[in-house]
A and B are shown apart, each in its own frame.
Chain A
Amino acid sequence: MKRSNINTLIATAALSGLILSPLGAASAQSLKLSNDLIKIGVLTDLSGVYSELSGQGSVKAAQMAAEDFMAKNKSFAGKVQVIGVDHQNKADVASNKAAEMIDRQNVDMLVDMPTSSAALAASEVAKTKKIPTFVVTGATTALTNEKCSKYTFHYAYDNYMLANGTGSAVTKRGGTSWYIIYPNYAFGQDLNRQMTAAIQDNKGKLVTPSDATPFPNTDFSTYLLKAQSLKPKIFGTMQAGNDLVNVVKQYNEFGLRQQGIGLGIGLLFETDVAALGQDAFAGAIATVPWYWNLDQRSRDWAARFEKAFGKKPTWAQAGVYSASTTYLQSVARAKSDNGDAVVKALEGHRFSDFFARSAYIRPQDHRMILDVYTVQIKPKAQAKENGDYFTKIATIPAAKAFMPLAESKCKF
């Protein structure tokens, strides 16, 4: 089994080399799949703090992508499978699970991966095994910089995009003085750096150097009282998930909004808003790659997802659908699920779907760029329906939303 698998791989590699050469392109091509199957591995958080925003919903999204793809491409009927595996947001578990999925379960592609450290760990493993990896929910820009890999693609968003979108939008709208707190680990430090740069680029300033808070943390009163006495125009929080919910809850408790101190949020998922109710967030600005009621196309897909899953999709889950579809289409173009062939088919690919507009996969660093949106959270009274959280302030075109290639430190 194992040996034949490897042989198939080698054969496919050789064949795809042929296909991609000018000679091969002219000859008749047939579909080559390892084990006659494409297996998508959703590596995600099935039980922890990110399980609501990704988790089972991400697995469902990948399954939908597989079904839709098979329905549209008859030659692939019955040939795409999806499995979901829990990485518990831990780097070591992510690493072990990724290896196990690839070696024992013959997974051809990895997708999702919340938690930056876990995404980096899985990406390392996938690199040695030459398996295309689509990080959707992990945020660190290291994935397309110092730690970039030929087989890793960063989909949907990253810290640069968040800071660039939110930092400049808020500062331009008059939020010129900031006090920032960030969780003291890779993600928070990275986001604080990027956010500070974005604020300063737009002629804003920090009233005091940012404070690193312990992670995880429940009580933020010290920093809220500090904000109260510093009186910045914006209290910026780079916390994510449960920590963010605690910060925002206590921001309201201490009545900072009434004291004229606005709220700037680094990374926001729909589930955070749901956890506290949208009034707690009202007026805050965030940057997102997508939201379910962005337009009719998005609504249509979201309605299908809600019917299948029972809940509205988060942008992370929609991103997993889009990433899985993009991958499957590249397999169709390459006529093979061989890692190298698929990577070739993905590099430089331009596309547009319900999730990703003006999307382009940069061959130099594998950053997938797309139009993203700066949004303001509506008060509940203005919501037209359940889950109607965002008012769009601006669309940031793909070319401007992400780190310019000139700044990227990626070398494959």
Chain B
Amino acid sequence: MNTQFLLIQVFNGLVNGAFYALLSLGLAVIFGMLRIVNFMHGALYMLGAFVAFALGQILGLGFWPSLVLAPLLVALLGMALERTLLSRLYGLEPSYNLLLTFGLTLLTQDLVKQVMLSQYAVSSAPYTTPTVLTGVVNLGFVVFPKYRLFVIALALVVCLVTWFVIEKTRVGAIVRASTENPVVTRSLGIDVGKWVTGVFGVGVGLAGLAGVLAAPIYSVEPYMGAELIITTFAVVVIGGMGSILGSIVTGFAVGVLAAVGAAVYPPMANTLVFVLMAVVLLVRPTGLFGLPEGAR
């Protein structure tokens, strides 16, 4: 096991890290603003990939239009769900949200499964990589698929833009204010409810985007989000619930950690993240980047 090989794996880990970062960022945004633990996030990620697949089948749309359209459609669906269902539970304890979003997950998975089986007679469908991004590129230290490089780059850009908007702009200030103290914010003439719905849309849109990005790498199948979401929750816990920057940094870091772990000792690959989560919970219960509730 030489250093160059480990370096290659560190680099490779950024790809999975990109997915973790996009997903945990969405979760963090939603939790930070709405105090909802969105268990449905994995299903919405899957839905992003499935919508891209369906857009290709029905309208003949390729990867690029789907990359924009599918996250938008997922965001719209998310907003509709927030308005019609989630908003009814805001006064109640968090476990109701958990049950609702978990139920919606099962429903979405089975619906997609039925549609795929009945309409396309497949249980998992391949999705073609866009032509410009097929093939590999020699980076000197490793021969790497072009598409995976694109995933890392795009995820980085999207994460940074999201972070910038929330932390550094007026829009972000309104959103943050709506969550810190909705009553005062409302008294300043800001429609908090509308912002909440929008923020939820952005959060699930990010999941949809991750799904479209995943489609050319992994097959599109109803349960593709089920596994990923568990690791993503671990990422969120490690980074600190609701911390925007924390979720991005931790997302990429966990991806790298898992890849290096898998290279060194494969059976460890899937457990490493949870070991880290347990350690973080013991040493720093609010997460690496999280602040205690009182200090917010």
Mark A residues whose CB is within 8 Å of B: 47-49, 51-52, 184, 211-214, 216, 218-219, 221-223, 225-226, 228-229, 242, 245-246, 249-250, 253-255, 258-259, 275-277
Contact = CB atoms under 8 A, between A and B. Distances in A.
A54 B144 CA distance: 37
Interface of B: 4-5, 8-9, 12, 15-16, 113, 117, 121-126, 129, 135-136, 142-145, 147-148, 217-219, 221, 224, 227, 259, 262-263, 266-267, 269-270
B145 A216 contact: no
A211 B12 CA distance: 18
Given A222-B263, A226-B263, 12 more contacts: A48-B123, A49-B124, A51-B117, A219-B16, A221-B15, A222-B12, A222-B269, A229-B5, A229-B8, A253-B217, A254-B144, A255-B135
Nearest to A51: B123
A226 B269 CA distance: 15
A59 to B, nearest CB: 15
Contacts of B270: 214
A116 to B, nearest CB: 20
B266 A213 contact: yes
Given A214-B270, A275-B122, A225 B9 contact: yes
B20 to A, nearest CB: 11
Given A48-B123, A214-B270, A221 B12 contact: yes
B85 to A, nearest CB: 27
A295 B208 CA distance: 48
A249 B123 contact: no
Contact of A228 (B117, B142, B259): B142
Contacts of B12: 221-222, 225
Contacts of A48: 123
Given A184-B267, A221-B259, A275-B219, A253 B143 contact: no
A250 B216 CA distance: 10
B217 A250 contact: yes
Contacts of A184: 267
B126 A253 contact: no
Contact of B266 (A212, A219, A254, A275): A212
Contact of B9 (A222, A255, A276): A222
B218 A246 contact: yes
Nearest to A181: B266
Contacts of B148: 221, 253
A251 to B, nearest CB: 11
Nearest to A242: B124
Given A221-B15, A228-B143, A254-B145, A245 B267 contact: no
Given A218-B227, A255-B143, A245 B219 contact: yes
Contact of A49 (B123, B126, B217, B267): B123
A222 B259 contact: yes
B5 A253 contact: no
Nearest to B128: A277
A52 B266 contact: no
Given A214-B270, A249-B126, A222 B262 contact: yes
Nearest to B15: A221
Q: Name the residue among A214, A222, A229, A275 with the largest chain B CB count within 10 angstroms.
A: A222
B267 A212 contact: yes
Nearest to A48: B123
A52 B122 contact: yes
Given A225-B8, A228-B143, A229-B5, A219 B218 contact: yes
B266 A211 contact: yes
30 contacts: A47-B117, A49-B123, A49-B124, A52-B121, A212-B267, A214-B270, A218-B227, A219-B15, A219-B218, A221-B12, A222-B9, A222-B12, A222-B263, A223-B266, A225-B5, A225-B8, A225-B12, A226-B5, A229-B5, A245-B124, A245-B126, A245-B219, A249-B217, A253-B129, A253-B136, A253-B145, A254-B145, A255-B143, A258-B136, A259-B143
Contacts of B124: 49, 242, 245, 275
Nearest to A210: B266
B142 A253 contact: no
A216 B144 CA distance: 24
B263 to A, nearest CB: 5
Contacts of A223: 262, 266
B126 A276 contact: yes
A246 B218 CA distance: 6
A184 B218 CA distance: 20
A211 B16 CA distance: 20
In the A-B complex, list the 3 residue pairs whose CB atoms are closest, starting with the nearest.
A255-B136, A222-B262, A218-B218
Nearest to B261: A222
Nearest to A221: B12
Contacts of B126: 245, 249, 275-277
Contacts of B136: 253-255, 258
A216 B263 contact: no
A259 B129 CA distance: 20
Contacts of B227: 216, 218
B7 to A, nearest CB: 11
A249 B12 CA distance: 17
A254 B147 contact: no
Nearest to B125: A275
Contacts of A225: 5, 8-9, 12, 142, 263
A152 to B, nearest CB: 28
A48 B9 CA distance: 33
A243 to B, nearest CB: 10
A218 B266 contact: no
Nearest to B124: A242
Nearest to B271: A214
A211 B262 CA distance: 10
Q: Name the residue among B9, B113, B122, B266 with the largest chain A CB count within 10 angstroms.
A: B266
B135 A242 contact: no
Nearest to A50: B123
A275 B143 CA distance: 26
Contacts of A276: 126
A228 B224 CA distance: 27
Contacts of A219: 15-16, 217-218
A255 B145 contact: yes
Nearest to A255: B136
Nearest to A230: B5
Nearest to B4: A229
A148 B113 CA distance: 36
A222 B268 CA distance: 13
